[in-house]
């Protein structure tokens, strides 16, 4: 697979988001199938693996440690802190909590060092400088190699970067979620920060994975997301039908069209699609080799943009381009 740079690391142009293997979109994936996805990803050329302490309240990290621990040298490992405490979801950015979470994650992941460690969300009760400073101390101690942030605004990124160099900023980005284009992508370019795009295929919608919300299983976070509800879903489904037609013209699948579109936006962008299906994992990897014609990119931009997509990202949001509210288990 082609590669891109995330901080000091050279990683596969497309990474693997692992949250869905443990929770978020329904029941946890059976262990054998999860192992097939994870080990198959390494064999398919993925070298950037993303998890978090929050996912399954540690179960996702434990899964990765058990399955991928023996191949630890084959991939760059990213995890996150600041949203889980004592087995429950709790936003807490105090330095001592972040450091304790890191120690637990190291044990769960069966590794001596985490390559990229994100502050999962900024705790507004703690200055960003204090939280990021604690992560910088973890670098100095050899517990992590680089610091990242998730779902913060451009001004917050700049404040954090002035405290300790930020290697990557992660947030949702896809043809139907364009919030980063308001200011965050420009800030990342200015500061030399990689942009890691989670939910790059529209939470499955732009991959053709959701034809009817009634098919979603209990506990699936999409059940309470505005874009998947009622008339909004029906309107967005029509957009997907047109998007799928574009993919056929381009000679690829809708998911591949999403990923290729993201890779065409800027060399700093690294999408991390998740899947519980080994064939979808391989399908996503193949998107790294696609080159989209300029007119195809323009047609995607015309079809899917803030003016055409119906419904917000979440039922509650702090507004475009700034820190957002989050559902339990969100990336």
- Is 55 noted as a catalytic residue in this protein? yes
Taking the CB of residue 88, how many other CB atoms lie within 10 A of it?
Answer: 9
Residues 6+ apart with CB under 8 A from 180: 171, 173, 195, 197, 321
**Beta strand segments in the chain, E:** 3-6, 9-12, 16-17, 48-50, 76-81, 84-85, 88-89, 114-119, 144-150, 166-172, 194-198, 269-271
Tokens standing for residue 245: 């037609």
Cβ pair 254, 284 in contact under 8 A:
no
Per-residue HEC secondary structure of 37-77 comes to: HHHHHHHHCCCEEECCCCHHHHHHHHHHHHHHHHHHHHCEE
Could you say which of 55, 117, 173, 314 is catalytic? 55
Q: Which residues of 54-73 are buried (b: 16+ CB within 10 A; e: fewer)?
A: bbbbbebbbbbbbbbeeeee
Cβ pair 163, 132 in contact under 8 A:
yes
Show which residues are catalytic: 55
């Amino acid at each position: 697979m082609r590669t891109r740079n995330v901080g000091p690391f050279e990683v596969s142009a497309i990474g693997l988001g692992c949250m869905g293997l443990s929770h978020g979109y329904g029941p946890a994936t059976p262990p054998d199938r999860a192992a097939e996805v994870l080990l198959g990803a390494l064999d398919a050329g993925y070298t950037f693996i993303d998890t978090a302490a929050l996912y399954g309240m540690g179960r996702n990290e434990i899964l990765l440690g058990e399955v991928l621990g023996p191949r630890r040298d084959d991939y760059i490992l990213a995890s996150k802190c600041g949203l889980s405490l004592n087995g429950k979801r709790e936003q807490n950015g105090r330095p001592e909590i972040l450091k304790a979470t890191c120690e637990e994650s190291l044990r769960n992941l069966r590794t001596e060092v985490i390559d990229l460690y994100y502050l999962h969300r900024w705790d507004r009760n703690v200055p960003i400088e204090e939280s990021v400073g604690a992560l910088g101390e973890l670098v100095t101690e050899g517990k992590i190699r680089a610091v990242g942030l998730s779902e913060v605004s451009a001004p917050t990124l700049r404040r954090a970067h002035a405290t300790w160099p930020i290697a990557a900023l992660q947030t949702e980005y896809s043809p139907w979620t364009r919030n980063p284009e308001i200011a965050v992508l420009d800030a990342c370019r200015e500061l030399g920060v990689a942009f890691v795009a989670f939910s790059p295929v529209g939470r499955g919608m732009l991959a053709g994975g959701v034809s009817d919300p009634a098919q979603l299983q209990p506990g699936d976070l999409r059940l309470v997301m505005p874009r998947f509800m009622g008339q909004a879903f029906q309107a967005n489904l029509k957009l997907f039908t047109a998007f799928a037609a574009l993919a056929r013209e381009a000679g690829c699948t809708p998911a591949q069209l999403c990923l290729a579109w993201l890779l065409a936006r800027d060399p700093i962008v690294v999408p991390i699609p998740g899947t519980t299906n080994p064939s979808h994992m391989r399908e996503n990897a193949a998107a790294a080799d696609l080159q989209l014609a300029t007119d195809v990119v323009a047609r995607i931009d015309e079809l899917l943009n803030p003016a055409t997509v119906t419904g917000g990202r979440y039922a509650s949001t702090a507004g475009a381009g700034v820190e957002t509210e989050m559902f339990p288990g969100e990336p």
